[in-house]
Amino acid sequence: METITGFVDHIVFQNSENGYTVMILSTEGEEMTCVGMCKGLTQGENISAEGEYIEHPVYGRQFKIQSYETVTPTDRVGMERYLGSGAIRGVGEALAARIVKKFGDDTFRIIEEEPERLAEVKGISERKAQEIAIQMEEKKDLREALVYLQQYGISNTLAVKIYNTYGMEMYSVMRENPYRLAEDVSGVGFRIADEIAGKIGIHTDSDYRIRSGILYTLLQAVGGGHCFLPLVPLLRRASELLGVSEENIRPQVDNLIMDRKLVAKGEAVFASSYYYAELNCANMLRNLNIPMVEAENLPSQDAAIRKRLERMAENLSMELDELQLKVVEESIKNGLFILSGGPGTGKTTTINMIIRFFESEGMDIFLAAPTGRAAKRMTEATGFEAKTIHRLLELNSALSEDDTRKANFERNQENPLEADVVIIDEMSMVDIQLFQALLKAILPGTRLILVGDVDQLPSVGPGQVLRDLMNSRAFSTVTLEKIFRQAGQSDIVVNAHRINRGEQITLDNKSKDFFLLERNDVNVIYKHMIQLIQDMLPRYVGATSFDIQVLTPMRKGSLGCETLNEILQRYLNPADPHKKEHAYGNTVFREGDKVMQIKNNYQIEWEIVGRYNIPIDKGMGVFNGDMGRVKEINDTMSTLLVEFDDGRRVNYPFSALEELELSYAITIHKSQGSEYPAVILPLLGGPRMLFNRNLLYTGITRARNCVTILGSSETVRNMIKNVSENRRYTGLEQRIREICCLPENDTP
């Protein structure tokens, strides 16, 4: 580790969000390019920086800053240079020169201790004098905070977040209860807070530590899709995390309940936000679930609706069976209606008929889906514009700079959607938080139609909304099961339904769209996978190699997506002198790479460009599961440009690349809501909890034209037999039953 000192002559680039900075440092008569996390640093400041010299392949020798502190200029030239650099708003070079000329070596003391005296300088009012003093103080406080937090191994990026959250209260928080950081500051989890607490000397059985550990345990459960944990598993997991007995943990659960941080319903323990999310949803669902046809008029209305639908179907050349006609009728008669069904059962035709009916009534109809891909499919299937739910609700940027944990939507109770009918597709993907936001924006009297396949995998986020809604039996629901003739010609559809029913499938490769290549060696699977993607499948399905998607149950292992992505990148997008690349962690990102966003980022900006790269649309937010291509890597600006499938372009600073991963191969979980021309499933055995019927069914139904299984027929047979799934702890069904006064396992 080396140390250099100098003043910041010029800032080439600075990311306002995380503080990544490229600057020219003037030191001992030389100019040195320096890079590092330096949020709050401004041009003209004197710094002492620790780090190491690196050799950049394009820009040559640089100094990479690990930590730094500002140094107060001691000479008049340094003072004048700092004040006139733009670091202090409203003070230019001329005014800085007059200030230093007036007060000399005493300039900084005067600003800090007697700021009113600045008014003695021509061009400075009393008000401006106070503003200059405040800015100097703020910068001083931030600099001192960064230095203080560095001793605990906290990066400058996190340090800025901590300072912005607490201000000068930060010091008391750090001394008394650093576990507050885990609750209040995005990016500071329990483990970081626990490390800090250990350095400060807080005991392992501290009440603060135990309470924070309980909340962290529930947060980890949320990451697994749960909305609560039963008390016994909660105590066990918290005990394993903290190294403290369950007897010592139990009283703190009660204390957290008294503080309203937790809610207990019987043996179920919720983080309060998730309990109230479910309760709010149940209340809003009840309010939406109102009859749209008066009971006394029902018989005559039924006959009139049926006659009109039959006439419309004939005019539109649509063939609907009895159950499909019932679906449309139920959507007309009920404020809330649920339609479920697997592939090939006529959901799309039925939705189209629903849309055409309400359109003929002159109603405003909004269509939406959880992901960009699903929304695009919905648009193509209906001819009506469909948006992502986030865009429908008008995600805004009214978030604090450092908190992206909660979305903020323009459409809510105060500003609801101006719609008569709202249709949401791929409901199995919608988690409880997004569902709550959606319901807040829908007024009673608006028809809400929810469409999905309950047999698909549940949402990546917490909850199993569609399943809980259907299990509650509180709302009008129809499940389509009949496979239509045209769909029945596809073995993808036929086999998907067989798998769902637990029936074994024929794997004799006589199919036109469903194949199994028996391969029991991992290296052989790699070889054939590359051949299929590069040569065989693109021609067979009329698509490009990048349209072919590898889906796997696992992240780790020789057939997990991490290993597969390394191999597939090597062959599908090999290194090339004409392609720029950037290494981040264990991943090398290369221009042309296929990538996926792996976390919700509500604040990141995107734009869609038209001809001549002129922006035609812009907005906020990129979401877990969004896929795209790396268009450009800019080493000068330290950014990576991704164009997503729906045309949105996002510039990622290098420091934010943790949000991206290669997506030549992705987990089946991540593929929800998407459809690909061809899918390859490498299946050679793995953990029983992953290799189950539900996962196989979901993977197969992602393919539009062709499914190829590379691996073992025995593994496929075992997956069909295996009905074990990771149970999700959710309470929405129970909350609905309580609100609607329904007994357990009874029908309304």
Tens digit of each residue's pLDDT (9 = 90 or more) over 541-574: 999 999 999 999 999 999 999 999 999 999 999 9
Given this model, what pLDDT does residue 143 score? 64
Please name every residue paired with 369 in a beta bridge, in sequence order, or none if there are none: 388
- The yes-or-no verdict on residue 400 having pLDDT over 80 is no
- The yes-or-no verdict on residue 615 having pLDDT over 90 is no
Question: What span, in angstroms and rounded, lies between the C-alpha atoms of 235 and 227?
Answer: 16
13 with 38: CB under 8 angstroms? no
Q: What is the mean pLDDT of residues 169-181?
A: 85
Structure tokens at 535: 């040569």
Given this model, what pLDDT does residue 273 score? 94
400 with 394: CB under 8 angstroms? no
**Mean pLDDT of all residues in the chain?**
88
Dihedral sign for Cα 83, 85, 86, 87, please: negative
- The yes-or-no verdict on residue 199 having pLDDT over 50 is yes
Question: What span, in angstroms and rounded, lies between the C-alpha atoms of 19 and 313?
Answer: 60
Question: What span, in angstroms and rounded, lies between the C-alpha atoms of 696 and 495?
Answer: 11
Half-sphere exposure of 539 (CA within 13 A, CB side): 5
- Percentage of residues in the chain having pLDDT higher than 70: 93
Question: What span, in angstroms and rounded, lies between the C-alpha atoms of 458 and 431?
Answer: 8
Query: What SS3 string covers 449-500?
Result: EEEECCCCCCCCCCCCHHHHHHHHCCCEEEEECCCCCCHHHCHHHHHHHHHH
Among 174-183, 267-276, 429-438, which is the least confidently predicted range?
Answer: 174-183
Report the amino acid identity of residue 118.
L
Confidence of residue 90 (pLDDT cuts 50, 70, 90): confident
Given this model, what pLDDT does residue 220 score? 87
Tens digit of each residue's pLDDT (9 = 90 or more) over 281-301: 999 999 999 988 765 555 667
- The yes-or-no verdict on residue 406 having pLDDT over 60 is no
- The yes-or-no verdict on residue 668 having pLDDT over 50 is yes
- The yes-or-no verdict on residue 725 having pLDDT over 80 is no
Which whole-number Å values give the CA distances from 60 to 32, 56, 200, 635, 683, in the listed order? Answer: 11, 5, 41, 12, 46
Given this model, what pLDDT does residue 405 score? 44
Q: Residue 743 has what DSSP assignment?
A: P
Instruction: Report the 10 Å Cβ neighbour count for 384.
Output: 16
Confidence of residue 61 (pLDDT cuts 50, 70, 90): confident
Report the amino acid identity of residue 280.
N
* Prediction pTM value: 0.76
Q: Which conformational region is residue 470 in: left (phi greater than 0), alpha (psi within -120 to 50 degrees), or beta?
A: alpha
Confidence of residue 47 (pLDDT cuts 50, 70, 90): confident
Q: Tokens 């924070």 map to which residue?
A: 212
- The yes-or-no verdict on residue 43 having pLDDT over 90 is no
Given this model, what pLDDT does residue 397 score? 53
Given this model, what pLDDT does residue 748 score? 34
Q: What is the mean pLDDT of residues 493-513?
A: 92
Tens digit of each residue's pLDDT (9 = 90 or more) over 628-638: 999 999 988 88
Q: What is the mean pLDDT of residues 185-200?
A: 82
Tens digit of each residue's pLDDT (9 = 90 or more) over 316-335: 888 888 999 999 999 999 99
Question: What span, in angstroms and rounded, lies between the C-alpha atoms of 671 and 596?
Answer: 11
Closest of 698, 691, 700, 697 to residue 719, by C-alpha: 691
- The residue with greater pLDDT, 340 or 304, is 340
Tens digit of each residue's pLDDT (9 = 90 or more) over 123-149: 888 888 888 888 877 777 776 777 677
Question: Across the beta sheet with 268-271, what order do the strands follow?
Answer: 228-230, 268-271, 262-265
Given this model, what pLDDT does residue 239 score? 95
**Residues 521, 526, 530, CA angle at the centre, nearest 5°?**
145
Given this model, what pLDDT does residue 399 score? 44
Given this model, what pLDDT does residue 192 score? 84
Given this model, what pLDDT does residue 624 score? 81
Confidence of residue 401 (pLDDT cuts 50, 70, 90): very low
Kindly compute the dihedral angle of the four CA atoms of residues 177, 179, 180, 184, in this order, to the nearest 10 degrees.
160
Question: What span, in angstroms and rounded, lies between the C-alpha atoms of 224 and 622?
Answer: 21
- The yes-or-no verdict on residue 74 having pLDDT over 60 is yes
